[in-house]
Amino acid sequence: MATFVLIHGASDVGWYWHLVEAELRSRGHDTLAPDLPCEDDAAGLPEYARAVVDAIGSRRDLVVVGQSLGGFTAPLVCDCVAADALVLLAPMIPAPGDSPDSYWTNTRYATEDREQYDDPIELFYNGVPSDLAAEALIKGRGQSEARMGEPWPLDAWPNVRTHVLLARDDRLFPAPFVRRVSKQRLGITPDEIDGGHCVALSHPQQVADKLESYAATPPE
């Protein structure tokens, strides 16, 4: 059985993963989904990673999963612990020299053909039941921008088996954008799942299915 380390995105909490955690635990796996110090102006990506590493403790058989901005933190965690796999879900995919602030320019995000949404429910929570989306907004936190201009601290991608999983109906990171960036930066053709940006709330069973399949993938 695997231990799934689930890393949330910007302005969020570990609760984001609670439905996926329930699915994985029902199948005999261990999970943890720590809250990152995203409201703390003194905390940057290294502190985010340290919060996750501290939560892992002595756990083994790790599958590290980063959603959205969590894609910047998850590889840092894998640089510190012995992970069996790294999964990027509806992700930002950093490269050396990127910061979260510069990611949009460096990936030519503005050139992507996509619809514009001003309502956060429509942008982030399409496909999520309305009561669950409302609860997610209440639980959400502020996101400090104080250190989001600092470069991602790795010089290269960690030596860990990596999977990219996009959400076909993601309005923040549309499928063509994720396919392009994943191929350019990692040489990986993403796997795909139905759902929007917050797919762990709209399609938790399908997310759990994919994560479990990655955990079962033999080492290369």
pLDDT digits 0-9 by tens, 29-61: 999 999 999 999 999 999 999 999 999 999 999
pLDDT one-digit tens code per residue, 124-171: 999 999 999 999 999 999 999 999 999 999 999 999 999 999 999 999
Residue 147 lies in a domain: yes
- Name the domain count of the chain: 1
Residue 218 lies in a domain: no
Residue 219 lies in a domain: no
What's the CA gap between 208 and 22, in Å, rounded?
9
Residue 178 lies in a domain: yes
Specify the pLDDT at position 154: 98
CATH (domain of 128): 3.40.50.1820
What's the CA gap between 67 and 204, in Å, rounded?
13
**What are the counts of helices (DSSP H) followed by strands (DSSP E) for the chain?**
9, 6
Q: Quick one: average pLDDT of 178-200?
A: 98
Confidence of residue 219 (pLDDT cuts 50, 70, 90): low
Residue the block writes with tokens 């063509």: 176
Specify the pLDDT at position 218: 73
Contact criterion met (CB below 8 Å) for 179 and 190: yes
Mean pLDDT of the chain: 97
Residue 220 lies in a domain: no
Specify the pLDDT at position 145: 97
In the numeric block, which tokens belong to residue 24? 């994985």
Specify the pLDDT at position 169: 97
Residue 31 lies in a domain: yes
Contact criterion met (CB below 8 Å) for 215 and 2: yes
Specify the pLDDT at position 217: 86
Residue 116 lies in a domain: yes
Specify the pLDDT at position 220: 63
Specify the pLDDT at position 88: 99
Name the residue type at position 133: A
Q: Tell me which of 102 and 112 has the higher pLDDT.
A: 102
Total-model pTM: 0.97
Residue 14 lies in a domain: yes
Q: Which residues contact 182 (CB under 8 A, 6 or more apart)?
A: 88, 93, 164, 166, 188, 189, 190
pLDDT one-digit tens code per residue, 70-91: 999 999 999 999 999 999 999 9
Contact criterion met (CB below 8 Å) for 190 and 168: no
Domain residues for 85? Answer: 3-213
Contact criterion met (CB below 8 Å) for 36 and 7: yes
